[in-house]
Amino acid sequence: MKKIKIADGLELSWLALGECRRGDPDAQAGAFAIMDRYRELGGDTFDSARMYHDGGSDRAMGEWMRSRKVERDDIVIVTKGSHNAPSSWITTRLTPEEIERDLDESLSFMGIAHSDLHLLHRDDIRIPVERIVPALSGLVAKGKARAVGVSNWTVGRIIQANQFALENGFEPIRCSQLLGGLALTTSAMSGDLTHIVMNDVEFGWYRESRLPLMCFGAQARGWFAARAAGREPKPSPQKFYDPLPENYRRLARLERLSGKLGRSFGALTAAYARDRGLNACVLSSFSSPWQLEEAFEAETFTLTPGEIKYLETGLGTC
């Protein structure tokens, strides 16, 4: 399986598995089946976060590892912490104490000693990077994380943070997570202005800098599949993607390319997120093993630049 390098001895599978509702007791058996199938297909990278189901996702991750007797070094675990307070996206949690406590709790819930990659789940541009970077770097120095990164940070803040880290001998940001799939949306549509969405500036910098990127949102939360089948999407993807007419045009082009290539929507949207010239892996959650298997079809082909251009603009190759 293709992988992307984060640091010496640390790589992520091209398709990283999201939480798949494993912290929901009503969905846990199904989530474990998806996790089992992911391992059978060769995947080894699992994403979690302290805020998912108030730690339930982390607890379920540990339970799955113990029940399947998974050796710690056989998988890569990505943790996230310091999400905004649940009551308000305005109230951030980025003090050194909050950063370390969230990771400590995730590790305790999972029953493991370290995270392979720990990310800050949100940013607060009111807080200087000079106060955040040392706290992140300290997690690596203490052996609690092998590498650190961020989720939902703008490239401007990443540049500032890594410049400060370079000049002062701290661990740099080695990876980023960002919403970046074929379907378009905005932060305002998500209802959370700290939710950073890929745009032309972000895309250009990631392409040039080669900073490893975990792209989430490739499946558009099922929006493409629902609209193609004539069904109403669930409320969340409906809010994210319905208002923009361009998404309906992209759906039509996705349907045409799917018919021409004989590839599923799941495979094409995963390949789109992976094949745009970034140093990227795809981070996705699924509600069934067959959806996971569809995405894994992308292991067998690569979208050409012409096909990428067609999906985005209607020009290029179809």
Q: Which tens digit of pLDDT belongs to each residue from 90-126?
A: 778 899 999 999 999 999 999 999 999 999 999 999 9
pLDDT at 85: 77
In a domain, residue 110? The reply is yes
Helix (H/G/I), strand (E/B), else coil: 283: strand
In a domain, residue 88? The reply is yes
What is the tally of structural domains in the chain? 1
Long-range Cβ contact pairs of 193-197 (< 8 A, separation 24 or more): 193/89, 194/84, 194/89, 194/92, 194/122, 194/123, 194/124, 194/152, 195/152, 196/123, 196/152, 196/153, 196/154
- At 194, the pLDDT band (50, 70, 90 cuts) reads confident
Give phi and psi for 170, each to the nearest 5: -100, 160
Answer whether residue 193 shows pLDDT above 90: no
In a domain, residue 52? The reply is yes
In a domain, residue 195? The reply is no
Mean pLDDT check: name the lowest of 35-39, 137-141, 192-196, 210-214. 192-196
Are 119 and 106 contacting, i.e. CB atoms less than 8 angstroms apart? no
In this predicted model, what pLDDT tens digit does every residue of 210-231 receive, in sequence order? 999 999 999 999 999 999 999 9
* Amino acid (1-letter code) at residue 272: Y
Give phi and psi for 276, each to the nearest 5: -90, 10
| Mean pLDDT on 166-195 | 94
In what helix (H) or strand (E) does residue 282 lie, and over which residues does it extend? Answer: strand 280-284
pLDDT at 87: 67
In a domain, residue 291? The reply is yes
Q: How far is CA 261 from the centre of its chain?
A: 27
In a domain, residue 248? The reply is no
Give phi and psi for 101, each to the nearest 5: -65, -40
pLDDT at 192: 82
pTM of the model: 0.96
Answer whether residue 88 shows pLDDT above 80: no
The CATH number assigned to the domain holding 303 equals 3.20.20.100
Are 64 and 35 contacting, i.e. CB atoms less than 8 angstroms apart? yes
Comparing 242 with 52, which gets the higher pLDDT? Answer: 242
In this predicted model, what pLDDT tens digit does every residue of 290-318 receive, in sequence order? 999 999 999 999 999 999 999 999 998 88
pLDDT at 1: 84
* Amino acid (1-letter code) at residue 252: A
Domain that holds residue 65: 3-181+201-216+274-313
In a domain, residue 238? The reply is no
Bridge-based pairing of strands 280-284 and 213-216 is parallel
In a domain, residue 107? The reply is yes
Considering just the CA atoms, what is the radius of gyration of the chain in Å? 19
Q: Residue 59 and residue 37: Cα distance in Å, rounded?
A: 20
Answer whether residue 153 shows pLDDT above 80: yes
Question: For residue 19, what are the contacts with CB-CB under 8 A and spacing of at least 6?
Answer: 31, 47, 48, 49, 52, 53, 57, 285
